[in-house]
Structure 1
Amino acid sequence: MDQQPSITISSLDLARIEKLMHSAAAKNSPGLAALQNELDRANVLEPTQIPPGLVTMNSTVRFIEDASGALSELTLVYPDEGGAAGSVSILAPVGSALLGLSVGQSIHWQVPGGRELELRILDVVKQPEAMGKFHR
């Protein structure tokens, strides 16, 4: 797999995700190792320092799968809010892949079955921090 892009997350998101990862509900999640790898390489900022155009928790993001040209728009949520149309859990592989990326960045993402896709962020349609919501 190619070198992954740098990512940035808020200290609030980091604290909540780490708490989630230690919960009983997350223990059997297949995406835990990938999510931990993302957190380990993340640059952490205070919520008020998060720039617009960065995928944070509860952000709605538009992205493209470069090989097929397929466009998607998803809101990155915590597992208890997942399952709704247009949302993806942070514990899902694509959720952890999107966290912390900025508009224009790409990431290689392995789907079940071993196939690899390249996702590129086109737009962050809604970001809580850009809306002044620092304590979601």
Structure 2
Amino acid sequence: MSTAHTSGLPPSLIISSRDFNRLEALLDSPALRRLPAAVALMNELNRAEVLPPEQVPEGVVTMHSTIDCVDELTGEDHNLTLVYPNEANVDKGYVSVLAPVGSALLGLSVGQTIDWQAPGGRHLRLRVTGIRYQPEANGEFHR
């Protein structure tokens, strides 16, 4: 998975301390620790700026955020909700943070773009175009 955007550098990431702590605990599980998706997510967490939940800007993708994004290569619009692995449901658009697109979207801000290879090798370039719902912006700091 590559999270580079068009400048070739990874986009900056902001993560709430609550999300960081819950994800770090999830990744500490022996069953997940060695999975490539878990390693990729840990790499994202390690480079993120961690802020108290009440200081996370409302235009940032956090856990349980519902976002609008567009695939800049195909023009397809997507509406996704970033969730923990046990909440994932493709039919509802609930994307696990352990899915490549999920770990790539976590911490991005509106307007930022990520590139990555989808299963099967198809190249995707998603740009976050809006956040319909973000728990922190709604005062839900302890979800």
After the TM superposition, which residues 33-72 of structure 1 pair with which residues of structure 2 at under 5 Å, given as runs?
33-72=39-78
Segment of structure 1 superposing worse, 59-68 or 83-92: 83-92
Displacement, 1:111?
1.6
- 1:114 to partner: Cα distance: 3.4
Name the CA distance, whole Å, in 1 between partners of 2:58 and 2:12: 16
- Secondary structure in 1 aligned to 2:109? coil
Normalising by structure 2, report the TM-score. 0.89
- Structure 2 stretches lacking a partner, 5+ long: none
- Counterpart residue number, 2:82: 76
Match runs of 1:94-105 below 5 Å: 94-105=101-112
Which residue number in structure 2 is paired with residue 92 of structure 1?
99
Q: Identity over the aligned pairs, expressed in percent?
A: 54
Q: Aligned pair 1:116/2:123, yes or no?
A: yes
RMSD over equivalenced CA pairs, Å: 1.5
Name the SS of the counterpart of 1:31 in structure 2.
helix
Could you tell me which amino acid in structure 1 is paired with residue 82 of structure 2? L
Q: Secondary structure at the match of 1:113?
A: coil
For residue 57 of structure 1, give the secondary structure of its aligned residue in structure 2: coil
Aligned counterpart, 1:23? 29
Contact conserved, 2:33 with 2:39, CA < 8 A, in 1? no
Deviant stretches of 4+, over 2 Å = 24-30, 112-116
The 3 A distance-change label for structure 1 pair 115 and 33 is farther
State the number of aligned residues. Answer: 136
What residue number does 2:142 align with? 135
Per the normalisation by structure 1, the TM-score is: 0.93
